[in-house]
Amino acid sequence: MKDLHSLLPHSMAATNLNSASIFLLTFALLFMVMGHEASNSGQYPVVVSTWPFLEAVRAAWRVVDNGFSAVDAVVEGCSACEELRCDGTVGPGGSPDENGETTIDALVMDGVTMEVGAVAAMRYIKDGIKAARLVMQYTEHTLLVGEQAAAFAISMGLPGPTNLSSSESMDKWTKWKENHCQPNFWKDVVPVDRCGPYHAKDFLGSSHGTCSKTTLMENIKSRSSHVGRHNHDTISMAVFDKVS
């Protein structure tokens, strides 16, 4: 493995054309700014998650209710979803990318220290959220990616290398290819062949984008109408262990 200092940057700007990698956005918060009403009510801990992933919420609840930290709870909760492959997309065996490979993304934040750890496009390791936590806990980095994220995770004791494909993910990919690689996450491009490689439309002299207010509003409108369960987060979870 490379020296940690040569690994990836302190930036979270992970843009990714990989249409189907898994994103776990997770927060563990010691909530400090809630109103007096809430802070006096003794209604803590609290576990919140996107989507009706009850098993994940229950797993997190058991941890925080037993006195462990909000970060511990978030990691357990999201791990439960990775194991269960919630929604068919979270964790190993979930959605494949354009090459048919499943890779893992995960991010965790500690609301007390504001520390963040994340992995992206991580290969061969099934435990995304645990790897993200190791990045947060044992490195000065924020984000490790790809093979280097995998090497780091293995060196810190997570199991791997593992085949992250499943018969379901391979099946999904085959069907997507058969459907001329639709839908996908490209925009303003034309495929040379049906499934790419893709070229920027501008290169071929097509119309350039404009900055008019109308165009902007149309863009926002057409995009927000496409926001839904299958192109939003996979799971996000917040755990509040107490109010200080």
Ligand X SMILES: *[C@@H]1O[C@H](CO)[C@@H](O)[C@H](O)[C@H]1NC(C)=O
Active site residues: 234
Question: Using CB under 6 A, which of the segments 47-55, 136-144, 163-171, 186-194 binds ligand X?
Answer: 163-171
Q: Which residue in 166, 186, 191, 201 binds ligand X (CB under 6 A)?
A: 166
Size of the site for ligand X (CB under 6 A): 5
Q: With contact defined as beta carbons under 8 Å apart, do 131 and 106 qualify?
A: yes
Q: Which of 6, 11, 15, 167 binds ligand X (CB under 6 A)?
A: 167
No. of helices (H) and no. of strands (E), the chain: 7, 8
Tokens of 199: 């070229």
Handedness of CA 71, 76, 82, 85 (dihedral sign): negative
DSSP string, 33-46: ---HHHHHTT---E
CB of 162 to ligand X, least distance (A): 9
Q: How many CA atoms lie within 13 A of 5 on its CB side?
A: 0
Q: How far is CA 216 from the centre of its chain?
A: 28
| Residue of 43, 113, 137, 163 interacting with ligand X (CB under 6 A) | 163
Residue 34 as a binder of ligand X (CB under 6 A): the answer is no
Decide whether 92 or 111 has the Cβ nearer to ligand X: 92
165 binds ligand X (CB under 6 A): yes
> Between β-strands 104-110 and 116-122, what pairing exists: parallel, antiparallel or unpaired?
antiparallel
CB of 167 to ligand X, least distance (A): 5
Q: What type of residue is 34?
A: M
* Least Cβ distance, residue 131 to ligand X (angstroms): 20
Residue 170 interacts with ligand X (CB under 6 A): yes or no: yes
Under the rule (CB under 6 A), what is the footprint of ligand X?
163, 165-167, 170
